[in-house]
Amino acid sequence: MLTSPPKLYRPFLSGRYTVSAGLYRLGVQAVPWVGPDASSVLEGHTFALDRESPRFVASKAAAHRRALHEYAGEAGLTPELREAALSFVARTLARESGGVMTWDGRTFTNHALGWSADLGLRWGRLKDLRRFNAPLAPLIADLTPVNALDFLGLNAQEDLAIIARHPDGGDWLAAVHVLSPQHWDPRDKLGRDFVAVHEPVAGSGPMNATAARLVDAVISRGPFVRFAWGVAMSDRLDHHPVAPLDPDRNPDTHFDPERAFLRVERQTLTGFPEAHGALFTIRPYISPLPEVVADPAHARLLAAALRTMTPGQVAYKGLVPLLPDLLAWLDGLDSDG
């Protein structure tokens, strides 16, 4: 678990960049392009714990210390939906942690981080935080989680969000604990509906036109997994718009293959129809670009996929200053091979 390398996902091997639902039914439909040999794999998990865990915890702890309120909050979350979503998180996170974490319905313990707490999931309460010696305990020694969602989120590598739907039909983002956002501000999204959340995404018109159906599928027909991807010029996890600047999306940064990364977000959606909502998880996977396209056929498909982006999408993905050099480099790899 804590020693396994992060998985490599290469969604660009479709040879196209699309702004579309791209939902795979977890445990039912195989995900293509997984692992070193880009094979089809049937995945059933929500949470993945791997050797990157200390880096995620350190990054989440830094965001927490800097300004938790810029990353996390609730908007009209009902006790029923809070309880449904958080008990799924506690149960599933523990079950998928290979024994690193445990949950007995009252106490959640993380044996790597060396802390445990009693959680009241209906009202989001956290009581009796206890700390003990453990390998990663120094990472969170000075941190005090503010509620059950915050505590659970700090134990996971994934970020968490909860979508709610009014019985009359309207949906809204009812909770966020997103400490590794990719150039968006969770405060701009909290309380907004699917369409408003996705309005800045270039080319999201057709997807947004089907928002009601998508939200319905997510709540009543999941669980699903989907992927988003882009090229980043740093491996930093937290790209909150007001976090300290780094080379990614910095107009002064030029493309350099040795400093470029593929950032894939693996996202899952699990519905709670009785509680009128769903849990959305986001897990970034950041891999050095030269490793990702070591096979010339992969370099060719990444170049092909990038060439299908509209100018608006190139701008939205922060690629305007990078794309010509990135494509020239990829084309060179392909012709070398």
Q: Which residues bind ligand HEM (CB under 6 A)?
A: 19, 21, 161, 163, 173, 184, 189, 197-198, 200-201, 207, 214, 218, 226, 228, 269, 280
CB of 68 to ligand HEM, least distance (A): 17
For ligand HEM, give the closer residue by CB, 100 or 323: 323
Query: Of the two residues 134 and 184, which places its CB atom closer to ligand HEM in the complex?
Result: 184
Q: Considering beta carbons, is residue 31 or 139 the nearer one to ligand HEM?
A: 31
Contact 276, 166 (CB under 8 A): yes
Q: Which class for 3: exposed (0-12), middle (13-18), buried (19 or more C-beta within 10 A)?
A: exposed
Nearer to ligand HEM, 231 or 303 (CB): 231
Q: Which of 318, 264, 257 is CA-nearest to residue 293? A: 257
Backbone angle region of 331, left / alpha / beta, with phi > 0 → left and psi within -120 to 50 → alpha:
alpha
Shortest spacing between CB 323 and ligand HEM, in angstroms: 15
Nearer to ligand HEM, 191 or 290 (CB): 191
Q: Are 117 and 151 in contact (CB under 8 A)?
A: yes
DSSP-based three-state secondary structure for 238 = coil
Least distance (Å) between residue 286 CB and ligand HEM? 15
Closer CB to ligand HEM, 165 or 189, in the complex: 189
CB of 186: closest distance to ligand HEM in angstroms?
A: 7
- Alpha-carbon distance of 184 to 190, in angstroms, equals 12
CB of 245 to ligand HEM, least distance (A): 18
Neighbour-count burial for 228-237, b at 16+ CB within 10 Å, e otherwise: bbbbbbbbbb
Q: How far is the CB of 201 from ligand HEM (least distance, A)?
A: 4
Residues contacting 171, CB < 8 A, separation 6+: 163, 164, 165, 193, 194, 211, 212, 215
Q: How far apart are CA 125 and CA 114, in angstroms?
A: 20
DSSP H helical ranges for the chain:
53-67, 79-95, 148-155, 186-189, 194-198, 205-209, 211-220, 289-292, 296-307, 311-316, 323-336
Taking the complex as a whole, how short is the minimal distance between the CB of residue 229 and ligand HEM, in angstroms? 7
Residues 167 and 73: beta-carbon distance below 8 Å: no
Beta carbon nearer to ligand HEM, 73 or 124: 73
Q: Position 34: which residue type?
A: V
